[in-house]
């Protein structure tokens, strides 16, 4: 049976493990909570971490949804989720830990007798990273920034598997382009898509250029931008709702079909 920090994690169940990293000034413990979702079949261990930076919230919700929606009866191996890796920075809503001014993302593997950020990193590294076959660390960017997958690869078996994970994570575009060409992908594909994706201007106002307005519908980011604009600034000029819904559903279906097919070819089983 899999154990994390001395806690037994039965197959087919979800187990929460509290990792104590120190104490606060009032004597209350500083704990990092790891949730282990154990499958009923043998397999690898995937570690998901988020909120190393206390202001980057999206990863914690991503991990929650993964742990809530993955069926352990269909899971081979286990998923270990740490939604809040730096509880001090999270509670202070700060990028780094205010107590010692350190950025947790820069101190791994940490030190058992170091400052509090170094001790928290050491706890995570010792009990969770070392127990994992693969690690995905979630960070958060702001709209309309590009979603990046950063992976360190080498010309060995581990590097090949890492590159496969990074490409699969990108789904449609990521599965078609190797990570080393990410810069070229941004310059040639994603940059122009953002520029002509109505992120900085409403699609409705493009009627001034006549029929060329409809060429922007060939860009999936146009519909994403218009949906965001409708949610945040409904008083601004809007794309017709029926057209917006049709574009979102159509592009989502197309990208899901293409990306899933390519993902299955690259998946590491």
261 to 112, 141, 216, 257, 266: CA distances (angstroms): 45, 27, 27, 6, 9
| Residue 21 parent element (H or E) | strand 14-23
Average pLDDT over residues 108-120: 96
Pairing of strands 134-137, 41-49: parallel
pLDDT in tens, 148-189: 667 776 777 887 777 777 766 665 565 566 656 666 766 777
Report d(CA 67, CA 13) in Å as an integer: 11
Superfamily of domain 3-140 in CATH is Zn peptidases (3.40.630.10)
pTM of the entire predicted model = 0.67
- Residue 107 exposure: Cα atoms within 13 Å on the Cβ side: 25
**DSSP letter string over 31-53?**
EEEEEEEE-SEEEEEEEEE--SS
The domains of the chain are located at 3-140, 187-258
pLDDT in tens, 42-88: 999 999 999 999 999 999 999 999 999 999 999 999 999 999 999 99
Report d(CA 228, CA 248) in Å as an integer: 12
| Residue 135 parent element (H or E) | strand 134-137
pLDDT at 144: 57
Closest CA to 84 of 25, 19, 26, 133: 19
pLDDT at 135: 93
């Amino acid at each position: 049976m899999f154990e994390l920090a001395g806690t037994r994690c039965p197959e087919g169940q979800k187990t929460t493990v509290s990792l104590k990293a120190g104490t606060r000034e009032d004597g209350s413990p500083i704990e990092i909570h790891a949730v282990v979702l154990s499958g009923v079949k043998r397999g690898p261990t995937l570690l998901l971490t988020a909120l190393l930076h206390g202001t980057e919230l999206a990863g914690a919700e991503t991990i929650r949804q993964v742990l809530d929606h993955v069926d352990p009866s269909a899971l081979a191996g286990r998923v270990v989720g740490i939604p809040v890796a730096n509880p001090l920075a999270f509670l202070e809503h700060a990028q780094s830990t205010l107590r010692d001014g350190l950025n947790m993302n820069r101190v791994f593997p940490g030190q058992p007798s170091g400052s509090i950020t170094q001790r928290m990193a050491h706890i995570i590294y010792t009990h969770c990273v070392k127990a994992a076959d693969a690690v995905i660390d979630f960070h958060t960017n702001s709209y309309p920034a590009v979603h990046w997958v950063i992976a360190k690869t080498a010309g060995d078996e581990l590097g090949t598997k890492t590159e496969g994970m990074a490409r699969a994570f990108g789904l449609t575009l990521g599965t078609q382009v190797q990570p080393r060409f990410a810069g070229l992908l941004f310059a040639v594909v994603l940059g122009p898509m953002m520029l002509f994706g109505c992120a900085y201007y409403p699609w409705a106002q493009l009627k001034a250029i006549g029929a060329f307005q409809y060429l922007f519908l060939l860009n999936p980011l146009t519909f994403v931008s218009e949906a965001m604009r409708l949610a945040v600034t409904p008083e601004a000029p809007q794309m017709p709702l029926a057209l917006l819904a049709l574009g979102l559903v159509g592009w989502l279906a197309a990208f899901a079909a293409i990306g899933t097919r390519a993902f299955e070819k690259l998946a590491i089983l």
